Structure 1
Amino acid sequence: MKNNIPTLEPITSPWIDTLTSDFELQNELLDTYNSPLNIHHIRSFQKNITEYTAFLKQYDFKSKVFYARKANKCSTLATVAFESGIGVDTASYAELKQCLDLNINPEDLVLTAAIKNTKLLRLAIQHEVLIIIDNKDEADLIYAICKEENKQAIIGLRISGFEYNSQKLKSRFGFDIDTVSDFILKFFEPEEVKKCIKFTGFHFHLDGYNTQQRGVAIHQTLDLIENLKTYNFKLNFIDIGGGILINYLKDSDQWKTFQEELKKAILEKRNPITYNNNGLGFVQRDGKIEGQLATYPYYNQIFKTTFIKNILDVMGSQNEPVWKRLKDLNIELRLEPGRSLLDQVGITMAKVAHRKKDADGNILIGLEMNMTQMTSSSADFLLEPKMTYAKPDIDKESVAVFFTGAYCLERDFILKRKIKLPKLPEVGDIVTFINTAGYMMHFFETEAHLFKLSQNIFLKDYTRSTQIVDFFRDENNLETNHIYL
């Protein structure tokens, strides 16, 4: 049977290449901050922000980018986003409170939390932060708080249920677009409500990565805005959320080959390339492959600004593209990218704790980390990690391994995929997972077994003489702020 291991080589940046080639610096960082360690690069984040804002400026309509900070918990990134001229999307009390404490202008914040209690809504109302409302109960609670505080709330309404190819795009979030007008007219009928609550625009977020769907949704939202104008509602924005594709991989052929080989393994036409022949979403039934890959689409030809351009070029029923209707109606387009603003911004490093073989002869490399510190909604993280060896020139025979974690769970595998390494690592060698800042480092991180959460540090800039003094901790790791090393 075929035994080769397909490779998925990630795109990297100079700062990543420099750091992952320096074992002594990596070792010093892990000795200082412990394993695992998340390292971030501010200049890469700023570069991504500039790419988005420069692209949108090419269009003659209003626009604003909000960094979705739920993608990464580091407060430093929220501060840099604000200082770089964009807003910050917050999704919890702690996120909002921290941004306010960091003196981020409330006009540059938006609250999109899925669950909003009285404490959270009161904080937003007190500081005049835009609140995206998901349901009538939130609207009623906001009205009650406004009367108590004698303050006006600023809101947008989240909507869903757009029609695409004669089918509804269903979601558990938001008001159905077919019924939201009735809700708006009824809710805002009392003059007292109009005084207490300022309704300023609409918000939506579509699952998946279909740019045509997003363009159609914008057109339908613009139709809704035009209809509400006849009832004297003066709305000024449409926020289309995030979910903007990025490209992680260097080679499209590697991406295709990996999927082909995974299917062959599931059909038992080759040796497994995942632990216990996990299909990562693919299943075998009666000798045929069913299902689909349940991971992020790691290779993409259309991503970031080209992805947005495809949305803006979608034609509507009036034979006009999205961008022209936004301009003509003077509606501001808002985006809430998270992952794509964090492209090339972070890596995660961990030390090798042990090596062993299981009953099937698989080589298991135990790392000083756990699976929650490298977990997202994706079935697996499909990028080749980088090993750094204390003794790189000794014993050059390549090996295929699985990386395992510190939780007492059979399923605590850092990656489900088998990884080919240049040589067997020794205890104390270091593995680096590439491009992990967006939704990988923190989204499901837990403190089971009383393990401490990962430390988060920042590299101000890339230089060829990078030393440990060039790094500083994120404020979230500290009891006191702004401690620099």
Structure 2
Amino acid sequence: MALTLPAHPDADHDEILRSGLLQELSHAVGGPFHFLRPDRFDANRAALRAVLDGAGVESRVYFAKKANKAAAFTERCADTGTGVDVASHGELREALGHGVRGEDLVVTGPAKADQLLRVAALQGALIAVDSPDELERVLCLETPRPPRILLRRRPPSQPESRFGLDDGQLDAALLRCAAAGDLVRMEGLSFHLSGYAVQPRTDLAGELVELCLKARMLGLQADRISIGGGLAVDYTAATHWQAFLTAQGPDDYHARKSFATADFYPYHSPVAGADALRAVLTARPHGRGATLAARLREAGVLLLLEPGRALLDGAGSSVFRVQGVKDRAGYGIVTVDGTSLSLSEQWFNSEYLPDPVLLTEGRTGTGEPDADDPAYRACVGGASCLDSDLLSWRKIAFPRRPRVGDLIVYPNTAGYQMDSNESPFHDLPLPPKVVVQHSDGRLRWRFDRRPTR
């Protein structure tokens, strides 16, 4: 039996696939492309906002811009007053250029360049200070107003993390900020925590609330904490995910490639998105006392969060055109007009697993098989000269043998997949992003930016 992992049903996404628009865009673009759905971004943001408001927690949401470079999502942040998390001078410039106010930015990342620190301070952005020397560089900035900072704590549960200050460095940094007086506004604390487990995030957030109270005793503002992102996205049903993990093995992949299941993203999560945020807020730090939401309210601490993937759930997909098909013993190799650099999971010793959809060339629909057109298993390779350039090592269960000109659509790729590793290798152009929206009862589209050729 062919190994499958169907994505959750999405009626609006299916409508786009049936409309014939993607075939027209493929013809116009002349190569692979990504299509974006800002309406889903707005819906995800509204769901997070509803949880925060329902918990009675004063809060700010910052979109982690590294998750997708598209201007459309940054523009939605500007229009709705949503903050943006940036980690480079280029990301900061892009956010400002698309209308996000400086005071609505939080600047993260390790060992920030002096130029980034200076511009962030001038624009009134909040800077997550990651090390003692970075704090000293911030204190040496000569800007009209004092820089706004958070002190980033290294998670005690992840001592090997390269991010943040250990307990001794944090104590010294608090004293340094208190001694600096009006040279800096120490507004609170933050952390970067790997993984998607709820309780560790609640535990560390509860500790940061207590550290804020300690910092106030030193005369510091310390009225906010950032818990970062780490809200899982649920791509597929639990039964499909468990069946996949149980059944998958080397025979399901080209060249009998093997993957450690621990390296796969958890494509099913029983608690995801807004529900995960609710779980973080309603859990009790270290299982004791009041809930995190109650502690935040009692201490007068503002909650900041920086989701990326969770805001982009369902907000875009990636489209590739079939350039050739060759048969092997028991399966085929499909080559498409792009590379796996545009589907980033494959470049982290892993695989993007939700099943792609085959669109038949020359007609709408999703490639349903004819009675005399049997199902066909095939891996999907890129157009480069690298033997390792595969978008799907897995032998995908296509409803029929793909044909030259067909489209293969990978669903729900907006979160980190589209451009984390894109490269104009072989002088191939970067796939453009196309914004697709309903307007006046029909689908309308526009380029997110001028296509790069």
Q: Return the TM-score normalized by structure 1.
A: 0.87
Q: Does 1:355 align with 2:325?
A: yes
**Cα deviation 1:16-42 (Å, max 9, x = unaligned):** 1012124x4222101112321100112
Please name the residue that 2:171 is paired with. 181
5+ residue gaps, structure 2, are none
Determine which of 7, 11, 17 is the counterpart of 2:8.
11
Determine which of 135, 159, 162 is the counterpart of 2:156.
162
Structure 1 CA distance for aligned equivalents of residues 259 and 95 of structure 2 = 37
Please name the residue that 2:358 is paired with. 387
Shift of 1:476: 6.5
Determine which of 342, 356, 368 is the counterpart of 1:373.
342
Say which SS state the counterpart of residue 417 (structure 1) adopts: strand
Write the letter of the residue equivalent to 2:360.
Y
Say which SS state the counterpart of residue 366 (structure 1) adopts: strand
**Cα deviation 1:314-372 (Å, max 9, x = unaligned):** 224661111111000000111111101111110111100001135x5541000001001
Please name the residue that 1:64 is paired with. 60
**Cα deviation 1:163-221 (Å, max 9, x = unaligned):** 5xxxx554110111354112321x2354xx32221110111121111111111101111
Please name the residue that 1:171 is paired with. 161
Q: Does 1:277 align with 2:256?
A: yes
**Residue 368 and residue 462 in structure 1: after superposition, are their counterparts in 2 closer, same or farther (change >3 A)?**
farther
How many correspondences in the alignment?
A: 444
Structure 2 CA distance for aligned equivalents of residues 51 and 31 of structure 1 = 36
Structure 1 CA distance for aligned equivalents of residues 5 and 441 of structure 2 = 27
Identity across the alignment (%): 25
Please name the residue that 2:279 is paired with. 310
Cα RMSD (Å): 2.0
Determine which of 235, 239, 246 is the counterpart of 1:260.
246
Say which SS state the counterpart of residue 461 (structure 1) adopts: strand
Determine which of 43, 59, 72 is the counterpart of 1:47.
43
Equivalences for residues 234-253 of structure 1 within 5 A: 234-249=221-236, 251-253=237-239
Equivalences for residues 321-360 of structure 1 within 5 A: 321-358=291-328, 360=329
Which aligned runs of 4 or more in structure 1 are off by greater than 6 angstroms?
none
Residues 432, 452 of structure 2: 8 Å contact kept:
no
Say which SS state the counterpart of residue 438 (structure 2) adopts: coil
**Cα deviation 1:236-284 (Å, max 9, x = unaligned):** 11110111011111x322211111112xx35xxxxx1122222321xxx
Residues 37, 348 of structure 1: 8 Å contact kept:
yes
Shift of 1:80: 0.4
5+ residue gaps, structure 1, are 267-271, 282-291, 480-485
Shift of 1:381: 0.7
**Residue 75 and residue 155 in structure 1: after superposition, are their counterparts in 2 closer, same or farther (change >3 A)?**
same
Q: Does 1:403 align with 2:380?
A: yes
Equivalences for residues 434-449 of structure 1 within 5 A: 434-449=411-426
Q: Does 1:424 align with 2:401?
A: yes
**Cα deviation 1:440-485 (Å, max 9, x = unaligned):** 001111112111111001012278743xxx1011136479xxxxxx
Write the letter of the residue equivalent to 2:448.
D
Determine which of 444, 447, 451 is the counterpart of 1:473.
447
Q: Return the TM-score normalized by structure 2.
A: 0.93
Structure 2 CA distance for aligned equivalents of residues 78 and 132 of structure 1 = 20
Structure 1 CA distance for aligned equivalents of residues 14 and 299 of structure 2 = 47
**Residue 81 and residue 387 in structure 1: after superposition, are their counterparts in 2 closer, same or farther (change >3 A)?**
same
